[in-house]
Structure 1
């Protein structure tokens, strides 16, 4: 049974191309096209799609308002299309706060030239965010998705953690905000954040977190010193590594085309393991794929601790599942408990 998609865009060109691209996959089927946010709200109710693609700037009702209304009436995975600008990033973050699941850059050139890479990325993204929702709605036992058992190892962290590194992907912007807003201004451990996000988005995201949090949050710059009460966010399109110069600092390096994720949680976790030995706490939050698993393995070999988000509170239980499946997780926590646990135990 195909996954039904509602396309929302005010451009006739994008409506046509998105419908064509989405329907090219045997598991996806466009059931409707809406030209503005108001139509999207009505069609989401009447057509009951499994997933929605949503433009951000439209007449009658904008994309963020439409997301908010749809999620209030009948929650459904929503993939936002965003411009690759600072303002576009801010709007996208508003949409994620309103309940959108994930986002993709709206690239006219890629859509126009029938890019194979764009087709694959869009197909994969829609299938990934729609499938867990469909499984959750299914009443059949065969459709249930069980997390692998992860034995919980309570390790006292007071005085032994010199660096906190948190990695996330899909659902991460909202999850990171939930965790970091619960930390006090005098949080005693430096923090490094790795969120899968394109260039231009991470600056807007760091600025947003800085306004929301008691700690200071900013996009990392090469050579930034690590210090308590400061969280440095890895820039999109680049890699962030940790070095032990002075009290510790970060290196921001160009993204390598051989690495899928830029930034990569594995690379940052791995450098933290090499630099801080057993004195790291790595936290793996919601996200597709398994980035962070190999880095977590390196941290565990050095004697560091790993926490992960539980399945029930994840938007996509991919990255946390990977570390749990490999029995690398010391504690599995629901999202709403992670920030308070960090504040209490560190």
Structure 2
């Protein structure tokens, strides 16, 4: 399968890497200046490279083709590739693809079987550029992601971009199935805003059912207690509980040597625990602060009580479970992170992927070839 990626930043490129991991050939078309994320570097990254950590999170397994679509040569090259492609992934603002000559209506005249996925910020009727932080604010995520009485907080990853990428993958897979059945291509549209709103889940349902806005609870859960709150144990270990059943709560009380809590009318059921959240959280904070957190976590695991340590990113990725999600380092470079998290006997993952390409780099060209079209 040939995927032509006319997308930049995160959501679209994540989908491109997804298909690369499944064995597709993915051609990433970049403007002469390159994908802007090539320049999004932390202070710890070397300046003398055009492959930033941010760029590398979504561009493994691809070839880079530089094309200036404002020139006849650049447009002709991209249109020639689109005529052979199975899928085009685009992330232009509404109207820009038409001006450049790479919109669905123009490309499908060259390739009637083409599946064209167009990602926008706010849908085809709005020319607003979509930025993850703004969408997190506008869709309610930042409001909810705060401790009571404190300022809203953005999630530390581009959550809305990633949610939109999942919507884009799902839409493309259904479109590929439709084409397999009918032979027909199709146009698929996904917006960051729709993807964000579709992911509000129980928080949206709370407002729809009760007409009351859900309130910020930090990492706590609005309808399950104890669930999500961070506790600090006596040995300094930070941990989280996810007690979703009364039976689990009874086991938690036993592990903490406080069986009387389970018999307390304020805490015996989840409904009661939600009503008496503050009192229970105070007791849990005090008692967990007296015990060894690692010992407690081992005992809770044996009892079937969902709980876990608060880990750094590095800790999560160096566990055996984390290492299974890594793409092996190529040529002594750095490892990557898979976007495909499922395993299928019908569709094995590519065992290795080429590292994120330098601008204009394609296999066999010996490095940065500068294959810049139309300049």
- TM, length-normalised to structure 2: 0.27
Larger strand fraction of residues = 1
Q: Which protein has the larger Cα radius of gyration, Structure 1 or Structure 2?
A: 2
Higher normalized contact order (CA 8 Å, seq sep 6+, divided by chain length): 2
- TM, length-normalised to structure 1: 0.29
